[in-house]
With several copies, the nearest count.
Chain A
Amino acid sequence: MAKHIEPGMRVALPVDYAGVSMAMTRPIIEHGAGDLDLVCVPTGGLQVDQLVGAGLVRSVETSAVSLGEAGGAPRFNAAVKEGAIRLKDATCPAIHAGLMAAQKGSPFMPLRGLIGTDLLRHRDDWRVVDNPLADGGDPIVLIPAIKPDVTIFHVPMADRFGNVWIGRRRELAAMAYASQLVLVTVERIVEENLLADEMTAAGVLPALYVTAVALAPKGAWPYGLWGEYPTDSAEIARYAKAARTADGFAAYMGQAQMESA
């Protein structure tokens, strides 16, 4: 599926616990399309760090990047220090607001908060206006629509018709609604139509929004997948240690590649 990704694309990726398609990370790196603008929904971790480490990333819009209990994201932090990537520091609800604007076909969404922050000072795409519905004053920030070219995530299942079960991780639907392309890896593909039963339908992202689905058992590993398997904290810690240096990162990625071959 990595062939859908072209240089310069804006790529939306989900938060650690929502269903990260780690299975797609290596194919994306091998495919090699660079100058990517990542949008973390609303924060990033291992996948972002590895794409940055592989040199494919031009900018990162995010509310945070870290490896959780394993500490800071080493290649991301190094790239920040070197000025190798452009940062668009945000706050979680601003990323959700930008996606919601795209979902609604609106040019922007208003968001409370933010005024007086250095986030706002460094974002020339955000705009402060006086609330037109107030009697005067009442400044409020407008967040422009975030329209990713492609969204990539991993979930437990899809059906043969391309319907994808996202359960209660509805940010995955929000990302898909806002995106041109939606690439999904899954633990399993089921025979029955997930929309045919109201119980399963409640957690479905309909095929209408899905570009491609691929089978990838344990596809979130070393992240966990809700309702399926826990996070492999030891492996993330092993990565965190290895990736402290560019050489260590290259060695880790090369080794993992050999293991997967």
Chain B
Amino acid sequence: MAEVLPREVLICTIARLLDGVRHVAVGASSPIPAAGAMLLRAMKEAEGAVGPRISILGSVEHNFFTNGSAELFDCAGQGRIDAFFLGGGQIDGFGNVNLVGAGDYPRSSVRWPGSFGSAYLYFVVPRVILFREEHTPRVFVEKVDFISAPGVSPDGVFRSGGPIALLTGKALFRFDKTRPGFELESVHPGHDLAEIKEATGFRFAHDAEPRQTALPGRATLDLLRGRVFDELAETYPEFAAQMRRELGTVDA
């Protein structure tokens, strides 16, 4: 087995979570989700299949929209976006996301930028992947201070989308909307259940001995370190360069 960087594990996990989507949108400042989408596209095309369409938001160079900043939301409302990523200053065990601030609203003690499109996209994009590398009790709280976007909705509320998974720097969780709540799917190499419990402010279901997150094989790593990092360098030059520096260390 080749040595694999922690962020390569994240990228490969994202590619797996996206399997089957036709169109994924990623933020201009989200290189890891973008890399995951690009990896999936490369893997599909290597098999002779059609890869997903990838829209990178806010990028001038990779702007595939022509109707202004409303088009992403229209496109999602039309059912043309299958997957999207959401972070959050706080995420709780019900899948609620807080992008607004900590403390009492509106005079938040810590103010984050704001909800962006989450209060809409979380409802209408079928596969929303919650992604936050920092895995601490500060981020993963029992109950968010402000609901920018709720994890689940009551019966009768129109909802064609929502969270399917939560990916952190330590682990991958599946979201079960019937409970609702998270279930630990796998632990990334170098971490363990006890550490994850301590780092997570909400309760979650888990096996007694959780699996380790699957590592990519040689062929996947070659695609990632070749074609995908080349593509990535066009939009996220600093991130691609950094990954390649770290790989230089690994390879050495």
Contacts and interface: CB of A to CB of B under 8 A. Distances in A.
Direct contact between the two chains A and B in their complex (CB within 8 A): yes
Interface residues of A, number: 72
Nearest to A101: B77
A64 B116 contact: yes
A8 interface: no
Interface in A93-151: 93-94, 96, 100, 102-106, 111-120, 122, 137-140
Contacts of B114: 43, 62-66, 89
A81 B117 contact: no
A81 B108 contact: yes
B249 interface: no
A18 interface: yes
A105 B70 contact: no
A210 B85 CA distance: 25
Interface residues of B, number: 53
A80 B106 contact: yes
Interface string B203-227: 0000000000000000000000000
Interface in B59-117: 60, 63-70, 73-80, 99-101, 105-109, 111-117
Contact of A173 (B29, B67, B116, B157): B67
B150 A170 contact: no
A interface secondary structure, majority: mixed
Nearest first, the 6 closest Cβ-Cβ pairs linking A and B are A105-B77, A64-B114, A170-B68, A171-B68, A91-B119, A66-B113
Interface of B: 23, 29, 53, 58, 60, 63-70, 73-80, 99-101, 105-109, 111-124, 146-150, 153-154, 156-158
29 contacts: A15-B69, A43-B113, A64-B114, A72-B111, A77-B111, A91-B118, A92-B116, A92-B117, A93-B77, A94-B120, A96-B69, A105-B76, A105-B78, A112-B77, A112-B120, A112-B124, A115-B157, A116-B153, A118-B105, A118-B148, A119-B148, A138-B156, A170-B68, A177-B78, A178-B78, A203-B66, A206-B66, A208-B23, A208-B64
Given A81-B108, A172-B68, 8 more contacts: A72-B111, A91-B120, A92-B70, A92-B116, A113-B124, A118-B146, A168-B65, A209-B80
